[in-house]
Amino acid sequence: MERVLIHVHGIVQGVGFRPFIHKLVKERGLKGYIKNTSSGVELELEGRREELDRFIAELPDRAPVLAVIEKIETQYLSEPAGYEDFRILGSKTEEFRNTLISPDICICGDCLRELRTPGDRRYRYPFINCTNCGPRFTIIRDVPYDRAKTSMSAFPMCPDCDREYHDIEDRRYHAQPDCCPDCGPRVFFLDAGGNEMPGDATELARQYIKAGKIVAVKGLGGIHLACRCDREDIVNELRRRKQRDEKPFALMCRDVDCVRKICSVSAEEEKILNGFRRPIVLLKKKQPGLRHISENGRVGVMLPYTPLHYLIFGDDIDMLVMTSANLSDTPMMYRNDEAVEKLRGIADGFLLHDRDIQTRCDDSLCWVLGGAEYFARRSRGYVPFPITAGRELPPILACGAEQKASFCLSKNAYVFPSQHIGDLKNYETLENYAGQIEHFRRLFDIAPQALACDLHPDYMSTEYAQETAETGGLPLIRVQHHHAHMAACMADNGFDGPVIGLVWDGTGLGTDGTSWGAECLVGDYSDFYRFGSIRPIPLIGGDRAAKETCRVAFALLHGSGLDTSGIPNAQTCEAVLKAGINCPLSSGMGRLFDGVAAILGIKTLCSYEGQGAVLLEAAAAEDGGLYPAVLDGEPLRFDWRGMIRAIVEDMEKKTDTGLIAARFMNTLIETAVRQCTAAREASGINTVALSGGSFQNMYIMSRLPGKLEKEGFHVLRHRRVSPNDEGLSLGQLMIAAAKLGRG
C-alpha cells in the first residue's frame, strides 16, 4: 500500500469534479479524501501503486465535460495513513489562491427534460440546474466555490435539495446553485409602474410579449429587453425608446430549426449555436430582409440558455429580439431596482427574480471562421477562463484602450482577460470597469507589480492606469496601440515572434503623434518598427469625421483631384481643409472604408462605430476585379488616389455598387499581400499576424489568409480574444512583461 498527495489545477470546482473522482476511486478500490482548495482540488489517496498510477493517468481523459485540467501535481508520501474509506472534506481556504472559475453554462439536456416534465418537482421552475449546468461566474463573490460565497447563500436548501446535494450518486451532488420551488429564488412580474402582478410571472411576460409589448427580462449576467421581432412597428418602437436608431439587434430563437427560417446555418455554426457556451453567432441572412433587425447581410442569433428563456418561448414563440437593457453608451443593467427606475418609459413590464447577479456579463458575440469562434465580443460562457501564456509572467494589470474596453491580469502562466466592458466614455462605464478589475484581483488573488496602458493620454483607461500606478508606486508601461494589437494576436496563438504585424483598425495614436490605423509592422513583444501604412487622410473636423463620413469622402476625392461638388457641405469642408484647422492626418483603414462607403452613397452619416464599413462589406458582390494599387515610400505606403479615381470612373459607367465594393476590398487584399512580401524580403520573417477591428470583415478574412498562405506565409489570426480593441489588453500585458524582462 502506498499514499499519494495530488493537487489538480484548472476549472475543477462547480463542474462535478468531486463526484467524478468519487466514482473513479470506487472503481480502483482506493481510500482517502478530496477537498476544494483556493488553488483547485486536493486529494490524498491510498492503495496499490499500480492502481494509484492508473488513477492519475485516467484523470485528464475521463474528467467531466465542463472540467478543464491545467496541471496535475503528485507527491508520493512516506507511508500510508490508514484511511478506512474515501471522504469529501470541507473546503480549505489558503493564503495563496490559484483556482480557476467556470464560466456560466447553459441549461443541460437532463435539466431541460425535468423542466418540461409534469409531475417533476422542478416542473417549470426557472432556476433548475445541476452540476453540469447553470450560473457560475456571475453568482460568485469569492473562492473557493462554495454556496456560502455565492448569491445562493440567501437561499437555505430544503431537506429534499439538501439530500440531493449530499448524495454522491446524484446529478446535483455539491451543485452550489441547487434549489427548487420550495427553497430557491423566485421569479415575479411587474407592470410598467413597478407593481407586482398576481399570477404566473412567466406566463404574464409571454402575454405581454405576444401583445406587442416590450419586457425587461433578468437573465444570468444582466437584464435584456425582449419583444416580438416579426412586427416592424414594435421593433421600431424599441429603437425609439432605447435611442438605437440603426445598430443591429440580436435575436434569440427557440431552436436551430427556427434559426434556419431566416439564416443559412453551417454544421460548424450549428455546433457553436447549440454548444454549452451559447454565444450570439453572426449568421448570413437567407435573403435580404429583416432590415428592422439588422441592416446588413448578417444577423446575430443565439439560442435560449436559461430555464427562464425556455419557459418564455414555450412551444409557440419562434424568435424574439433580445437586446441588452441599457441606456446609450452605459453598461448593461443587472439590478432589479436599477431596471425598474431607469427603464421607465422603455419597458412595459419586468420579468425579474430575487437571485442577485454578482458580476455583470453581457452575451458573447462571434462569427464562425475555420470551424471555431472568431470573437467580436468575448464575454458570457467564456469569461473568466484564462489564456495560458506558456511562460511564467509577473503579476501585471493591462488596462486596454477606450472603445470596447477590457483589461487583463496575469498570474504565473495565466492571463485572465475580462468580459466585455463597453466604451469608456462615461462615469457609469468607468465605475463598472474599475469594479471588475477589483473583483478579478480578489477572485484570482492578484496584486499587480506593474501596469500597462495605451499611449493615448486622453483615454479613461490611461488615466485610470496613471492614477493606480502613482497611488501604488508601481511602474507604468505605455504601449503603442497597434504594437499591442500585433502582440495580442501573437499571444492568442502562443507565438513568440518575430512577426510581420498587419494591423488594420480605425485609429490609434502612433509613436510620431499622428493617428495610425492601416499598419504593417515588424517586430515582437520587445520592440517593433513601422514598415508600411497607407497615404494619410485628412480628417476634416477631427473626430466628427468618424460619424459624418461624407467629410472623409470629400478628403479622398479632393486628394485624388476629383470633383467634390456632390458631397454634402462640400464648401465648408473645402474651407476647413484649406485653412488646415482641425484636420489631423490619419492612416486609419477604418476611415478609408468610411470614405469609400460615403463616395458610393452607402452611408454618409453613421449612427454607430464602423457602420459604413459594415454596410460596404454587406453590399459586396462576387468579383475578382482590382483597382490600381501603388505602393511607394518609406514606410511603404499604399497610395489610394489611383484607386479612388478608378472607383469614380466605375460609378460614372453605372457599374453595380456591389462590384465596386468587392473590387475595393480585393485591392486592399492585394496591397496587404504585396506589403507583407516586401516586409519578408527586408526582414526575412515569414509569419504574419492579422489584428485590428477591420479584420472583423468576413469578406477580407475569408480571402486574405488564403492568399498569404499561397505566397508561403505562416498566418496567425485571433482565436481566443477579439481582433478589435477588446483583445488589445492581452497584447499590452505581454509587451509589458517583455519590457520587464519576464516575457
Residue 667 CB coordination number (10 Å): 21
pLDDT of residue 92: 64
Angstrom CA distances, 430 to 23, 140, 370, 402, 451, stand at 47, 22, 35, 10, 17
- Read off the C-alpha cell for 667: 485591392
Angstrom CA distances, 467 to 398, 399, 434, 451, 471, stand at 14, 12, 12, 11, 6
Residues facing 529 on adjacent strands? 522
List pLDDT tens digits, range 593-643: 999 999 999 999 999 989 999 999 999 999 999 999 999 999 999 999 999
Residues facing 321 on adjacent strands? 227, 251
Q: Is 31:85 a contact under the CB 8 Å cutoff?
A: yes
Q: Is 165:178 a contact under the CB 8 Å cutoff?
A: yes
- Pairing type for strands 714-716 and 687-691 reads parallel
Q: What is the DSSP letter of 669?
A: H
List pLDDT tens digits, range 383-421: 998 988 888 899 999 999 999 999 999 998 889 999 999
Residue 261 CB coordination number (10 Å): 10
pLDDT of residue 146: 85
Q: Answer whether residue 149 shows pLDDT above 60.
A: yes
Q: Answer whether residue 652 shows pLDDT above 90.
A: yes
Angle between helices 17-28 and 49-62 (to 10 degrees): 150
| Residue 242 or 71, more confident | 242
Helices (H), 620-656: 641-652
Q: Answer whether residue 491 shows pLDDT above 90.
A: yes
Cα separation, 645 vs 559, in Å, equals: 10
List pLDDT tens digits, range 14-63: 677 877 888 888 888 899 998 888 668 898 999 889 889 988 998 888 88
Q: If we measure between CA atoms, which residue out of 354, 14, 361, 385 comes closest to residue 178?
A: 14
Q: If we measure between CA atoms, which residue out of 387, 74, 377, 345 comes closest to residue 193?
A: 345
Q: Is 468:451 a contact under the CB 8 Å cutoff?
A: yes
Q: Answer whether residue 68 shows pLDDT above 60.
A: yes
Q: If we measure between CA atoms, which residue out of 409, 365, 402, 367 comes closest to residue 384?
A: 409
Q: One-letter amino acid identity for 349?
A: G
Q: If we measure between CA atoms, which residue out of 544, 190, 481 comes closest to residue 350?
A: 190
pLDDT of residue 412: 86
List pLDDT tens digits, range 670-698: 999 999 999 999 999 999 999 999 999 99
Q: Answer whether residue 743 shows pLDDT above 60.
A: no
Helix (H) or strand (E) holding 671: helix 657-683
Compute the Cα dihedral for 334, 337, 341, 343 and give only its sign: positive
Mean pLDDT of the chain: 94
Q: Answer whether residue 327 shows pLDDT above 90.
A: no
Q: Is 328 helix (H, G, I), strand (E, B) or coil?
A: coil
Q: Answer whether residue 65 shows pLDDT above 80.
A: no
Angstrom CA distances, 558 to 52, 631, 654, stand at 77, 20, 21
Q: Is 642:538 a contact under the CB 8 Å cutoff?
A: no
Q: Is 309 helix (H, G, I), strand (E, B) or coil?
A: helix
List pLDDT tens digits, range 303-317: 999 999 999 999 999
| φ, ψ of residue 627 in degrees (nearest 5) | -105, 165
pLDDT of residue 94: 54
Averaged over 146-173, what is the pLDDT? 93
pLDDT of residue 107: 97
Q: Is 20:63 a contact under the CB 8 Å cutoff?
A: yes
pLDDT of residue 35: 85
Q: Is 458 helix (H, G, I), strand (E, B) or coil?
A: coil
CB within 8 A of 312, min separation 6: which ones? Answer: 202, 205, 206, 209, 217, 226, 304, 320, 351
Q: If we measure between CA atoms, which residue out of 333, 251, 253, 264 comes closest to residue 292?
A: 251
Q: If we measure between CA atoms, which residue out of 80, 74, 33, 28 comes closest to residue 51?
A: 28
Residue 389 CB coordination number (10 Å): 20
Residues facing 33 on adjacent strands? 44, 87
List pLDDT tens digits, range 245-298: 999 999 999 999 999 999 999 999 999 999 999 999 999 999 888 999 999 999
Cα separation, 459 vs 456, in Å, equals: 6
Cα separation, 248 vs 377, in Å, equals: 15
Burial letters 178-214, b for 16+ CB under 10 A, else e = bbbbebbbebbbbebeeeeeeeebbebbbebbeeebb
Q: If we measure between CA atoms, which residue out of 602, 533, 541, 603 comes closest to residue 569?
A: 541
pLDDT of residue 742: 57
Cell numbers 489610394 correspond to: 640
| φ, ψ of residue 676 in degrees (nearest 5) | -65, -35
Q: Answer whether residue 527 shows pLDDT above 80.
A: yes
For the residues of 177-243, what is the DSSP string, one character each? T---TTTS--EEEEETTSPBPSS-HHHHHHHHHHTT--EEEE-SSSEEEEEESS-HHHHHHHHHHHT
pLDDT of residue 143: 81
| Residue 580 or 461, more confident | 461
| φ, ψ of residue 328 in degrees (nearest 5) | -50, 125
List pLDDT tens digits, range 437-488: 999 999 999 999 999 999 999 999 999 999 999 999 999 999 999 999 999 9
Q: Is 2 helix (H, G, I), strand (E, B) or coil?
A: strand
Q: Is 130:171 a contact under the CB 8 Å cutoff?
A: yes
Burial letters 668-693, b for 16+ CB under 10 A, else e = bbbbbbbbbebbbeeeebebbbbbbb
Angle subtended at Cα 666 by Cα 660 and Cα 669, rounded to the nearest 5 degrees: 150
pLDDT of residue 530: 98
3-state helix/strand/coil string of 214-229: CEEEECCCCEEEEEEC
Residue 453 CB coordination number (10 Å): 29
